[in-house]
Structure 1
Amino acid sequence: MAQSDSSGSLIRRATDLLLTGFDDYNASFSDLSRRGKRRFEAGDRVGMRSDVVARMALYDQSVDEVIGRLEESLANRLWSRSIWKEIHKAFAKAIDDRLDAELYKTFFNTTSRRLFKTRGVDPAIEFVALDIQPTDRITHPVSRHTYAVGGDLGDTFRRVLRDYEFSIPYADSAGDGERLAERLRSELLAVGESAITSIELLETVFYREGRAYLVGRAFGRERYLPCVIALVQEDSQVRVDALLVRRLQVSILFGYTFSYFLADLPTVGDAVVFLRTLLPDKPIDELYTVLGRAKQGKTERYRAFVRQLLVRPEETMVEAEGQRGMVMAVFTLPSYPLVFKLLRDRFAPVKTIRRHEVIERYHLVHRHDRVGRLLDVQEFKDLRFPRDQFSSELLDELMSECQRIVRIDDDTVVIRHSFVERRVRPLDLYLKEVDEAAAHHAVTDMGQALKDLARSNIFAGDLLPKNFGVTRSGRVVFYDYDELTLLTDCNFRHMPKATNDFDLYSDETWFHVDDNDVFPEEFPRFLALKPALLEVLRDAHGELFDADWWLQVQSRIRSGESLDVPPYTDEARLRG
């Protein structure tokens, strides 16, 4: 039966509102991303961070605005499933030929799920395409500059720098060109390439935490390498700081332990396709996320995980390896590198923190500069999984420990709220599994992680190795956030000196301690490291046990200084 004129009009208006809503969101997203250049030129790292946070909030704001307009337009038919089925069809047709159609679909899904409070998936009023990769339809190349190398490579890099202009000058473009050429030649020779034939770089510049990045690749006769040029602003001039040509370096830069880039990409899908040529093992969901498309990243992460469940129907989800959490129940699918973290109904007695405080700390990490040392976390609501894909032991624990957010509907387990993180190897287990050299390296990097976090205004709180993990790239990260706090909220103190034998030998603390007091001299007691490993940590980072070091960092942050934590090692940096 044909639609009535009134119904057809409602469907067209609703479809137009959804399309316009996403287009408006996308335009605002681009406006904020474009500020990256201005922030970089001004050396305004704080402003760059505020733009990233504002852009993260933009999505939900835009969805809420669209829902308000739909409410005015659809009135009492706002929750009509029959109308929404037709809106779904009309919207699908309208976006069919758009390059970033998947982003539109996700926006539609968020709107419909929020309206209908959908639990699980409702294919009648949302888009479900578990068997389709969002980049399959990308057929044209992302915009880029291509440089044929026919003569002096230093001249080529000087041309590159001329093509990427800023309102402030380069400090030494001639010298930077020579240093880039020397480093690239050396790296290509190391992989058996004697000549460089061309370099291609994306037109879009990527900005994050005070730096700018020119992203592309360099071709030899037989192979190509990533080619990422890191720029910094110093004294109102631009200087080349580093060249990243190894996949591991670039993978870390585009990884899940850093904040999102400000990059004004005309389309996102084609950029993801290009980045996959540099990082073929990087999950698509992580690339969308690090480009600032966090909602799309969540969608792709969910799709990928459900596909894995379909491919491995015999595999069951189990409790994650590591010590049992006192605040969170944590489970994983052994064949897939994610963990799901669920708040327990009751925390262990030693934990005085409240549920809303834990949630806020996870939100803090999501918004904060993670400096490569905190796992990004995504919040999911109303997930549904087949009951038979949970081990009986895990299901018993969830039903006894997490009843407030877990229930069983027939053959389905419904999880009302969870945090999802990339799975890493718990440091306490890692230290038992590796040889002495690897253990020493991990403990040393744990100390560096604490320093990096401190410089980003984060104090981890619980320093036990079980709360740290080791990534595939060998970096130590922190992932248990219930005791994490801002460094500027801590009161770092030296241990008071006992004045008599009674105080000296007392089993009880004989001086007053506030909740936010921290005594770095006591850290060795809480690290639970073997004496030999503790000594390695002392030798490399002894200042961590001195309150004065923490107070100095705290003072610099409170004065407004933005402390730099480069996303690459000194090995990648160019020497002037």
Structure 2
Amino acid sequence: MKPSRDPRSSRIEAAAALLVDAFDDYNARFSDITRRAERHFRRRDWARQGRDARARIRLYDDCIAETIGRLEGALAERLLSRSLWLDIHARYAELIDDRLDAELYKTFFNTTSRRLFKTRGVDAGVEFVALDIEPTAHITRPVDRRIYGLADDPVDACRRLLAEPDLGLGEEALEEGAAALAERLNATLADDGGPLAIELLKVPFFRDRRAYRIGRVLAAERWRPCVIALDHPDDGVRVDAVLLDRTAVSILFGFTYSYFHADLPTVGDAIVFLRTLLPDKPVDELYTVLGRAKQGKTERYRRFFHHLGLDRDDRLVEADGKRGMVMVVFTLPSFPLVFKVVRDHFAPGKKIGREHVLAQYRYVFNHDRVGRLIDAQEYRHLAFARDRFDPAALEELLNECARAIELRGDTVLVRHCFVQRRVRPLDLFVREQSDEVARAALLDYGQAVRDLARSNLFPGDLFLKNFGVTRSGRAVFYDYDEVSKVTDLNVRRVPPARSEEEEFADTPWYPVNPGDVFPEQFPRFMDLPAAHRRAFHEAHGELFDPDWWSALKQRLIERPDADVRPYAEAARLQACRDPGA
């Protein structure tokens, strides 16, 4: 007869097993939501797809709260016993050691323990911390994928790959799509010896109104990433585009888009494959764009603080660009992130409060970002060494953000901040670049405003300083404190002045109520460089027309599922191109 375990050992075993079970439960519920994306795509149920996307983001915190409740029952008065948690940590590590996605389990454990102990900075005793770990280095099992030979009959191969899995393509759309896809592959890879095979992940990816097959196409001389996009307009599912350019695929998987829904049995092996397609893409962004936002935050933290430890000479400084009235923004020049801390008090021109700003950023976090809004992740209780700050930057933070910044001896504790990828502010970019490059960025800025508007989002602040330019040259928006829905705007024309005194007065001669917008005045706020105004007006003159905004508002009210295509027109297959595009 086996001797019974002592109460302490039983608690340790029960708590460790409970935590493993809790993550498995979260994972199963995550998959349940993710799996529904295919049904929503087939049924064109974009409203439910949006609700599921938001529910999946909330799921992690919901499961952490449930787990803490279960631990309270299992550990009772020992819930906050640090010595007990040291052993729970060790036993949990043993239980997950052979799991492919062990890093996701570790992050779940860390989140639970940090919330229980209200950890400030890092507690290495009850957390999995290693900053220099490569989360997928131990994964040798290849992700499930299918290979289709293209050399003998490329149309037949494309027909088979479009039918596996069945995503609702009708027979005619399947035939047209297969022929157009084969034609594009042959034309694009002709100089590389022609396409030989295409290798695709078995699991399709879904986001917004599209389904994607992800993989690569192999030619005699080289291989390219390959993403096949399927659309579902009113007349049925069709093959809309194929992306064979690494930059275009990188943008699709970038930090300005909402998260994919892909029912992957395991995540780490998919990350390994995606990194072969996009070797310059940070691993934290790949985890995030697959919907594993908490793991993405963990990997981002690891990368940053590992880099901070290596580069001892670099200092945290105030970020380039004009100072904002709402946030103090600091950065490490050698690392592409910015840290945004809400000021204690705003300038008189800002008639909003701290809670409004936090709500705005969280609203954007759940909104369809259409490739124009930078993902802003919330972090709490980050600890930095005081000597890593430029003195002027630290003084600004301590003076302006005392509610969020605390100095504890040689440690600077950041209680709350938003972290985003760093981009070059558009106003600086335009001054630094050639006329040709600056004009292209400004025209894309106009397109960004259009794209945001079509997704029912009005930036509020149209100043160039609130937009940035990514490495791929795209204009993106990053200042969210005044965003609003287009459908909530009251679009107005500027009434004529009754006298010269009114026309040239410093203040408007007409009443302005909350929600009022005057598109005719947008040029004043955009403050476009004189050399580029004409080109901008020719390309985007509708932005200054109240009738254009009023018509868009009415369309969004009648049909809120407006579409913003996440790739260039050139990527589309010829049969799908818009006339005159």
Q: TM-score range with shorter-chain normalisation?
A: over 0.9
Counting aligned pairs with the same residue, the percent is: 55
Question: Are 1:119 and 2:120 counterparts?
Answer: yes
* Shift in CA distance, 370/238, structure 1 to aligned 2, threshold 3 Å: same
* 4+ residue runs over 6 A deviation: none
Q: After the TM superposition, which of the residue ranges 504-513 and 416-425 deviates more from structure 2?
A: 504-513
TM superposition shift of 1:396: 1.2
1:453 corresponds to which residue? 452
Aligned pairs, how many? 573
Q: Map 1:347-496; keep pairs closer than 5 Å.
A: 347-496=346-495
Give the partner amino acid of 2:399: S
Report if aligned partners of 1:443, 1:536 keep a CA contact under 8 Å in 2: no
Query: What corresponds to 2:76 in structure 1?
Result: 75
Aligned to 1:61: 62
Q: Deviations over 1:183-237 (max 9, x none)?
A: 1122223xx4112221110001000011000000001123210111000113362
**What are the within-5 Å matches in structure 2 for residues 102-113 of structure 1?**
102-113=103-114
Look up the match of 2:243: 244
Aligned-residue offset at 1:398? 1.1
Structure 1's unaligned 5+ residue stretches are none
Q: Given the two structures, how large is their TM-score scaled by the length of structure 2? A: 0.97
In structure 2, the gaps of 5 or more residues are 576-581
Alpha-carbon separation, structure 2, partners of 1:135 and 1:236: 42
Residues 171, 239 of structure 1: 8 Å contact kept: no
Question: Greater shift after overlay, 144-153 or 169-178?
Answer: 169-178
CA apart distance, 1:410 = 1.9
- AA paired with 2:36? R
User: Which residues in structure 2 correspond to 1:531-550 (within 5 Å)?
Assistant: 531-550=530-549
**Partner of 1:225: helix, strand, or coil?**
strand
Q: 2-side partners of 1:565 and 1:5: how far apart?
A: 61
After superposition, give the CA deviation of every residue in 1:468-510 in whole Å (9 maximum; x if it has no partner). 0000000000111111112122111111123455644544322
- TM-score, normalised on structure 1? 0.97
Q: Match for 2:352: what amino acid?
A: I
Residue 141 (structure 1) aligns with: 142
Secondary structure at the aligned position of 1:485 is classed as: coil
Letter in 1 for 2:221: E
Q: Is the CA contact (8 Å cut-off) linking 1:171 and 1:237 kept in structure 2?
A: no
SS at match of 2:237: strand
Q: Is the 8 A contact 2:520 2:545 kept in 1?
A: yes
Which secondary structure state, in structure 2, belongs to the residue aligned with residue 172 of structure 1? helix
The whole-number CA distance in structure 1 between the counterparts of 2:253 and 2:421 is: 14
In structure 2, what is the Cα distance between the partners aligned to 1:226 and 1:268?
Answer: 19
Aligned residue type for 2:153: D
Displacement of 1:375 = 0.3
When residues 333 and 506 of structure 1 are mapped into structure 2, their CA distance, relative to the original with a 3 A threshold, is closer
Q: Deviations over 1:357-387 (max 9, x none)?
A: 0011110111000000000000000000111
Residues 144 and 201 in structure 2, CA contact (< 8 A), matched pair in contact too: yes
- Name the structure 1 match of 2:50: 49
Q: How many angstroms does 1:28 deviate by? A: 0.5
Structure-2 residue corresponding to 1:311: 310
Deviates more, 1:109-118 or 1:173-182: 173-182
3-state DSSP of counterpart to 1:243: strand
Q: SS at the partner of 2:370?
A: coil
Q: Per-residue deviation at 1:179?
A: 1.0
Matched residues in 1 for 2:428 and 2:502: separation?
38
Determine the structure 1 residue equivalent to 2:197: 198
Deviation readout 1:232-280 (Å, 9 max, x if unpaired): 1133622000000100010000000000001100000000000001100
**Residue of structure 2 equivalent to 1:327:** 326
- Alpha carbons of structure 1 residues 526 and 101: separation in structure 2 relative to 1, 3 Å: same
Superposition deviation, residue 430 in structure 1:
0.4
Matched position secondary structure for 2:130: coil
Q: 1:477-516 alignment to 2 at 5 Å? A: 477-499=476-498, 503-516=502-515
Quick one: distance in 1 between partners of 2:27 and 2:6?
Answer: 31
Residue of structure 1 in register with 2:27 after alignment: 26
- Indicate the residue corresponding to 1:259 in structure 2: 258
Q: State the partner residue of 1:85.
A: 86
**Aligned counterpart, 2:578:** none
**2:231: which partner in 1?**
232
Does the 8 Å CA contact 2:169/2:238 hold for their aligned counterparts? no
Give the Cα–Cα distance (whole angstroms) in 1 for the partners of residues 198 and 167 of structure 2: 21
Distance in 2 of aligned mates of 1:422 and 1:229: 27
State the shift of 1:532 in Å: 2.6
Question: Which whole-Å CA distance do the structure 2 matches of 1:333 and 1:548 have between them?
Answer: 45
How far did 1:43 drift?
A: 1.1
1:566 aligned counterpart, secondary structure: coil
RMSD between superposed Cα atoms in Å: 1.4
Contact kept? 1:168, 1:236, Cα under 8 Å: no
